């Protein structure tokens, strides 16, 4: 099979939904009761309360469209729906999730597409993995509705923006979902009703197929940005798409050759920073802290905490500024901005995009194993700026896993997602320890832009020279049919 996993959107895909003012007005007394239990009482009419809730949700929706961040129900209620009103934060925190589930279930009419259960059963019988990726503010609405429809057991995992913190079409949430089912993104299919969220997101993440299912609901938004591989009106049509994909001839590496995937470090391999720390050093000079010496051990300890997701990038930057003696909040903010600008000032090595494209055309899977304090969505934005955002079958981040190279577990996470053994992969790195870590796991190693003491199986001076490495240049691409 060329498709290992099928991911579904929820609203508009698994279920249809809609709303009317009458529906919301009827549900408003229930939310008034919950708000009262949360310590907030309204003297206004049900109509005024309904309009406040609807306008607050719309205001939050506009913000989330721009940032692709999913805020907690507590923040949505506090900063949008109840903004400007006296609220008991402690009581509101206890009820915010329940109230959001109420809104998502009672302020909309939802109904399962009748053909979905039989389609899920047919996909399961094909031996494919089934998952779900949904933009939703609550934690409970999606699992509760799936359980009510009698189909919860088909979906492993449920990837909700409310848990992950990012919303479609951010490709990071699609990459996370693919890793959760141990499938390369290039062997995943996504089906959803929205072009701008579902199709665009799946495309940006490099999913093999992005299918749109029609849903009659006017969101009042522009819905464009990518062309689906197929457009269907009933879920049963998805089965024919899967069957046709299975029968397609496809490019595969000669099975006699070992290496099937290339795994890259990111910084100083794909890109570099020719002006590293320039703005930060200028800031330190401006505030009279340029000569301050800070304990390298302390900075290294903070870096490890950030790389392993124990502290946020913002907390890491603030802690480093404190080490330099910068504690004034205004100056900390400026220092933060200087560091962020330095971080985002990256330059891709010459030939990276063309070389990666050539490797994909030769049938290789491509992955990243990176130690980083930056969330995956930040790095994906960098990659997209270089035209390589969609090429990755796997992205393994120290921040996501809580471990750094050269720990064998971080290399093994990539192997597990790609369903390959170590001897079928090659790691491209520059650092002594990360190359040694890959070697210990059993991967072939290729050094680029490498440290003087780096030891590897092969060395290259220019990124395009990767195509000439013997274990790769000898591989032939064959066209084969159905397994």
pLDDT tens, 427-442? 999 999 999 999 999 9
If asked whether residues 229 and 368 sit together in one domain, one would say no
* Whether residues 121 and 197 fall in one domain: yes
Is residue 397 classed as helix, strand or coil in its secondary structure? strand
Q: Is the pLDDT of residue 482 over 60?
A: no
pLDDT of residue 449: 96
| φ, ψ at 242 (rounded to 5°) | -65, -40
What is the span of the domain harbouring residue 233? Answer: 5-15+111-248
Tokens 């390369």 map to which residue?
184
- % of the chain beyond a pLDDT of 70: 95
Beta strand 209-213 pairing with 261-264: unpaired
Same domain for 144 and 170, yes or no, is yes
296 to each of 137, 254, 301, 457, how far by Cα in Å?
42, 49, 9, 32
Shared-domain flag, residues 334 and 370: no
One domain, residues 334 and 441: no
Please calculate the CA angle 92-96-98 and round it to the nearest 5 degrees: 130
Instruction: Let me know whether 323 and 374 are in one domain.
Output: no
Last residue of a domain, one of 71, 91, 107: 107
Residues 356, 5, 388: CA angle, nearest 5 degrees? 20
pLDDT of residue 253: 55
Q: Please say whether the beta carbons of 318 and 336 come within 8 A.
A: yes
Given 286, 313, 344, the domain boundary residue is 344
Statement to judge: residues 103 and 116 lie in one domain = no
Domain boundary among 60, 85, 107: 107
pLDDT at residue 481 greater than cutoff 80: no
Q: Count CA atoms within 13 Å of residue 157 on its CB side.
A: 16
Per-residue pLDDT, 44: 87
**At 478, is the pLDDT very low, low, confident or very high (cuts 50, 70, 90)?**
very low
Give me the residues paired with residue 479 across strands.
251
Q: What confidence tier does 263 reach under pLDDT thresholds 50, 70, 90?
A: very high
Q: What is the mean predicted confidence (pLDDT) over 172-183?
A: 98
3 state DSSP class of 384: helix
User: Whole-angstrom Cα distance, residue 309 to residue 306?
Assistant: 5
Q: What is the mean pLDDT of residues 157-179?
A: 98
Q: What is the pLDDT of residue 350?
A: 97
Q: What is the pLDDT of residues 341-355, one digit of tens each?
A: 999 999 999 999 999
Give the residue among 8, 233, 192 at the shortest CA–CA distance from 117: 8
pTM score: 0.94
Reference 138, options 201, 71, 40; nearest CA is 71
Q: Does residue 243 share a domain with residue 136?
A: yes
Q: What are phi and psi of 159, to 5 degrees?
A: -110, 110
Structural domain count, the chain: 4
Q: Are residues 396 and 437 in the same domain?
A: yes
Q: Tell me the mean pLDDT in the region 152-178.
A: 97
Contact between 7 and 131 under an 8 Å Cβ cutoff? The reply is: yes
Verify that 266 and 413 share a domain, yes or no: yes
Q: Which helix (H) or strand (E) holds 428?
A: strand 425-429
Q: What is the band of 304 on the pLDDT scale with cuts at 50, 70, 90?
A: very high
List phi, psi (to 5°) of 95.
Answer: -110, -10
How high is the pLDDT of residue 202?
98
Whole-number pLDDT of residue 252: 58
249 pLDDT higher than 80: no
Cα gap 145→88, rounded to integer Å: 30
Residue 375: pLDDT band with limits 50, 70, 90: very high
Same structural domain, 334 and 199 = no
Location of structure tokens 């309360």: 49
Give residue-wise pLDDT tens across range 52-96. 999 999 999 999 999 999 999 999 999 999 998 888 899 999 999
Q: Are residues 412 and 320 in the same domain?
A: no
pLDDT confidence bin for 248, thresholds 50/70/90: confident
Q: What's the whole-number average pLDDT of the chain?
A: 93
Strand extents, DSSP E, 183-273? 188-192, 209-213, 230-232, 250-253, 261-264, 271-272
Distance CA 437, CA 369 (A): 12
What are the tens digits of pLDDT across the range 8-60?
Answer: 999 999 999 999 999 999 999 999 999 999 988 888 899 999 999 999 999 99
Per-residue confidence (pLDDT) for residue 480, from 0 to 100: 40
426 DSSP β-pair partners = 262, 444
């Amino acid at each position: 099979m060329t498709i290992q996993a099928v991911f579904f959107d929820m609203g508009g895909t698994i279920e249809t939904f809609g709303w009317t003012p009458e529906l919301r007005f009827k549900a408003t007394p229930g939310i008034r009761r919950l708000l009262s239990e949360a310590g907030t009482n309204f003297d206004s009419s049900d109509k005024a309360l309904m309009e406040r809730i609807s306008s607050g949700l719309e205001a939050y929706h506009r913000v989330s469209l721009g940032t692709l961040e999913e805020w907690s129900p507590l923040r949505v209620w506090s900063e949008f729906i109840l903004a400007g009103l006296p609220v008991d934060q402690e009581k509101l925190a206890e009820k915010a999730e329940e109230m959001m589930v109420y809104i998502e279930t009672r302020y909309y009419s939802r109904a399962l597409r009748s053909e979905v259960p039989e389609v899920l059963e047919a996909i399961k019988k094909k031996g494919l993995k089934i998952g779900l990726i949904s933009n939703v503010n609550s934690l409970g609405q999606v699992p509760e509705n799936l359980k009510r429809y009698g189909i919860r057991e088909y979906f492993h995992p449920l990837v909700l923006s409310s848990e992950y913190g990012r919303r479609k079409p951010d490709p990071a949430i699609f990459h996370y979902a693919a890793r959760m089912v141990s499938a390369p993104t290039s062997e995943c299919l996504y089906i959803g009703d929205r072009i701008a969220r579902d199709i665009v997101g799946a495309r940006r993440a490099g999913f093999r197929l992005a299918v749109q299912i029609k849903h009659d609901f006017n969101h009042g938004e522009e819905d464009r940005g990518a062309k689906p591989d197929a457009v269907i009106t009933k879920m049963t049509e998805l089965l024919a798409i899967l069957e046709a994909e299975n029968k397609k001839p496809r490019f595969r590496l000669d099975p006699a050759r070992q290496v099937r995937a290339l795994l890259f470090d990111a910084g100083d391999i794909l890109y570099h920073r020719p002006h590293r720390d320039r703005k930060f050093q200028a800031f330190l000079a401006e505030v009279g802290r340029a000569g301050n010496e800070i304990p390298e051990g302390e900075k290294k300890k903070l870096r490890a905490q950030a790389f392993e997701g124990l502290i946020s990038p913002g907390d890491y930057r603030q802690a480093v500024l404190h080490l330099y003696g910068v504690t004034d909040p205004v100056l900390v903010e400026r220092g933060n901005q200087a560091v962020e600008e330095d971080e985002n000032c990256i330059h891709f090595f010459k030939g990276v995009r063309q070389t990666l494209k050539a490797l994909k055309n030769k049938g290789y899977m491509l992955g990243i194993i990176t130690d980083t304090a930056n969330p995956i969505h930040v790095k994906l934005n960098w990659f997209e700026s270089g035209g390589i955002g969609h090429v990755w079958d796997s992205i393994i981040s120290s921040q996501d896993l809580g471990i750094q190279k050269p720990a064998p577990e971080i290399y093994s996470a990539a192997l597990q997602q790609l369903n390959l053994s170590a001897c079928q992969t090659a790691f491209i790195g520059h650092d002594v320890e990360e190359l040694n870590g890959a070697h210990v796991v059993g991967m072939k190693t290729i050094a680029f832009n490498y440290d003087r003491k780096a030891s590897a199986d092969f060395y290259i001076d220019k990124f395009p020279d990767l195509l000439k490495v013997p274990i790769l240049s000898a591989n032939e691409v064959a066209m084969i049919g159905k397994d």
